[in-house]
Chain A
């Protein structure tokens, strides 16, 4: 099956200093690379989870697909058509096919407009006529009855606001939804509802998801593939179950081991990782993970690893990947 989304060697950089400030401070390189050399494919109907610590560039990658930030390098192909370099006007029809669910569902809604007005807003933006029936249908799809139509965001619970976010994302029947932390701030008893809803809609409508999250226990159950990001680079990507069974990159292992287990018998005595994510303005030499890596060798300090494919189809950016089970 052809890929729905095909990202190759994507690079996004931001100016860390304004031109004049850079001149005054004599900063040699006022840029920071938020996303570097990222290659990622998403098939129709597939869920890919993008995981990593804060500042790893997950959100920036998601936003660059939406055209909300413009990459300087590489290519993003959606259904075979190139998105990089498109003008704002040319991007508009693309956004009918790619929708975004924002991280904070309450903050991403207008406080002053009714739920109905907000759910039908994408139609207005794209100049498509719509009806109350259509908004009712969408709201029913996400499990909100028509009594919610005239309510305002402050009258909703976190879970309900999240459902409105899903309805809004579904409005124009997109093929890809980028969900930024879809469960952040939700109670465990409610997060299952939203994820089940997203999965049901995927089955019904054949949508693909790029789920940006740091919630690893959830990722295991909802995604087909995982991509692990660190300092803007993908360190490992592959099938969810095989990565959970046996991670190949030491960083992936660290992330999986760090999740606290809700089982008092599994208390751990030692932490698996020291230190914190380095600054994007001071990237370590060689493999960028080496200062925190328990398996580092002399080679890792100087030579940056290239991505390599493993036998099971995984792609790992590491000189010495861990043995697979």
Chain B
């Protein structure tokens, strides 16, 4: 299948006064058309760095060490600022975590949604109609009346819906949702998940969902990319991840989720140890210091990425030797 986005061997360092932090190392992933791909990982796993790189919104102290990000055959990393402006919001759009700060407070929702269409040669009336239609699609009641209201007049759940409407306004080929439900209550989270499913029927683009919430990933995604400490440790279809996880980190992460504990327990499972220091990346497997299935080779040789079960990529010696 043709991919919309392909990240190839991406390595990114952050330069700090105490040395380089190797935040991403040899990250590979691809997003096929009309697919929803989840990027899951804990804090410091590099999932936000990946999406920032795709949007070319990396912090000033970031340096791309190697790799490419291909979007429909064009390398995003080589684009000029002008090309990027045509890309962002139009071909790749983003929904941010915190709906309370994602919109400007000084312009009405309607004005902001019309602003987004500034490249389209349409009349004001047509732009307004487009915007109202989009607000209807994301389930804003009385969208005609509320069109001229300001962000503070909407609740958190409504504002996240508006963020999604704004992101979809230009019908992007790729939508990136960064922790889209983390700031919301569980009832609103369920509503937003439902909204994404509904939108999927009419939206032709691909979606990346970045989250640490395994529930959200299981509910929404077709494929999952699991990241740990700056590396992709496993990539597979959603069922393979949840039922046949091959990497010990994926297995441990799933085991830790209290929502997955079949039986009632007093002792909640954890992953002992800490994420390694990424200034001096350990030789061998990145997860070796916390892995419960460690072998001799794990601390000395970095494992290759191997394919198991036909479409499941795993960076682990156990899978390589199986």
Binding site for B on A (CB under 8 A): 53-54, 157-158, 187-193, 195-196, 199, 214, 216-218, 220-222, 241, 254-255, 257-264, 266-274, 276-277
The answer to whether B187 touches A262, judged by C-beta atoms less than 8 angstroms apart, is: no
B254-276 interface code vs A (CB 8 A; 1 in, 0 out): 10111111001111111100100
The answer to whether B256 touches A192, judged by C-beta atoms less than 8 angstroms apart, is: yes
The answer to whether B194 touches A270, judged by C-beta atoms less than 8 angstroms apart, is: yes
The answer to whether B218 touches A262, judged by C-beta atoms less than 8 angstroms apart, is: yes
The answer to whether B268 touches A261, judged by C-beta atoms less than 8 angstroms apart, is: no
Residue numbers in A under 8 Å from B274 (CB-CB): 157
The answer to whether A262 touches B157, judged by C-beta atoms less than 8 angstroms apart, is: no
Q: Complex formed: what's the CA distance from A107 to B24 in Å? A: 29
Binding site for A on B (CB under 8 A): 42-43, 155-158, 185-191, 193-194, 197, 212-219, 238-239, 242, 252-254, 256-261, 264-271, 274
Q: Complex formed: what's the CA distance from A254 to B186 in Å? A: 9
Residue numbers in B under 8 Å from A190 (CB-CB): 270
Which of A262, A276, A277 meets B242, CB within 8 Å?
A262
Which of A195, A271, A272, A276 meets B155, CB within 8 Å?
A276
The answer to whether B214 touches A189, judged by C-beta atoms less than 8 angstroms apart, is: no
Which of B42, B191, B265 meets A188, CB within 8 Å?
B42
Nearest CB of A to B83, in Å: 37
What residue in chain A is nearest B197 (Cβ atoms)? A269
The answer to whether A188 touches B215, judged by C-beta atoms less than 8 angstroms apart, is: no
The answer to whether A276 touches B158, judged by C-beta atoms less than 8 angstroms apart, is: yes
Which of B155, B259, B261 meets A259, CB within 8 Å?
B259
Nearest CB of A to B266, in Å: 6
The answer to whether A260 touches B193, judged by C-beta atoms less than 8 angstroms apart, is: yes
| 14 more A-B residue pairs beyond the given contacts A188-B212, A191-B256, with a C-beta to C-beta distance below 8 A | A53-B187, A188-B214, A189-B256, A192-B270, A193-B270, A218-B258, A258-B187, A260-B193, A261-B219, A262-B215, A262-B218, A262-B254, A273-B191, A274-B191
Contacts A53-B187, A260-B216, A261-B215 given; indicate if A195 touches B268 (C-beta within 8 A): yes
Residue numbers in B under 8 Å from A276 (CB-CB): 155, 157-158, 187-188
A selection of 15 A-B contacts at a CB cut-off of 8 Å is A189-B253, A191-B268, A192-B256, A192-B268, A192-B269, A217-B259, A221-B261, A221-B266, A258-B187, A260-B216, A262-B260, A263-B218, A264-B242, A268-B190, A273-B191
A-B CB proximity, top 9 nearest = A260-B215, A192-B268, A217-B259, A189-B271, A262-B214, A187-B42, A192-B270, A258-B190, A217-B258
Nearest CB of B to A310, in Å: 22
Contacts A217-B257, A276-B158 given; indicate if A261 touches B218 (C-beta within 8 A): yes
The answer to whether B191 touches A271, judged by C-beta atoms less than 8 angstroms apart, is: yes
Residue numbers in B under 8 Å from A255 (CB-CB): 186-187
Q: Complex formed: what's the CA distance from A220 to B259 in Å? A: 9
What residue in chain A is nearest B221 (Cβ atoms)? A264
Q: Complex formed: what's the CA distance from A241 to B238 in Å? A: 30
Residue numbers in B under 8 Å from A191 (CB-CB): 256, 258, 268
The answer to whether B265 touches A221, judged by C-beta atoms less than 8 angstroms apart, is: yes
Of the listed residues B187, B214, B256, the one surrounded by the most CB atoms of chain A closer than 10 A to its CB is: B187
Which of A187, A270, A271 meets B212, CB within 8 Å?
A187
Which of A218, A241, A254, A269 meets B264, CB within 8 Å?
A241
Which of A254, A262, A264, A268 meets B259, CB within 8 Å?
A262
What residue in chain A is nearest B195 (Cβ atoms)? A271
What residue in chain A is nearest B188 (Cβ atoms)? A276
The answer to whether A258 touches B270, judged by C-beta atoms less than 8 angstroms apart, is: no
The answer to whether B190 touches A272, judged by C-beta atoms less than 8 angstroms apart, is: yes
What residue in chain B is nearest A56 (Cβ atoms)? B185
Of the listed residues B190, B218, B257, B271, the one surrounded by the most CB atoms of chain A closer than 10 A to its CB is: B190
Residue numbers in A under 8 Å from B270 (CB-CB): 189-190, 192-193, 196
Q: Complex formed: what's the CA distance from A217 to B214 in Å? A: 12
Q: Complex formed: what's the CA distance from A157 to B268 in Å? A: 20
Nearest CB of B to A148, in Å: 14
The answer to whether A258 touches B186, judged by C-beta atoms less than 8 angstroms apart, is: yes
Contacts A189-B271, A221-B268 given; indicate if A260 touches B258 (C-beta within 8 A): no
The answer to whether A267 touches B218, judged by C-beta atoms less than 8 angstroms apart, is: yes
Residue numbers in B under 8 Å from A188 (CB-CB): 42, 212, 214, 253, 256-258
Q: Complex formed: what's the CA distance from A274 to B271 in Å? A: 37
Q: Complex formed: what's the CA distance from A55 to B214 in Å? A: 25
Contacts A189-B253, A258-B187 given; indicate if A264 touches B269 (C-beta within 8 A): no
Residue numbers in A under 8 Å from B258 (CB-CB): 188, 191-192, 217-218, 220-221
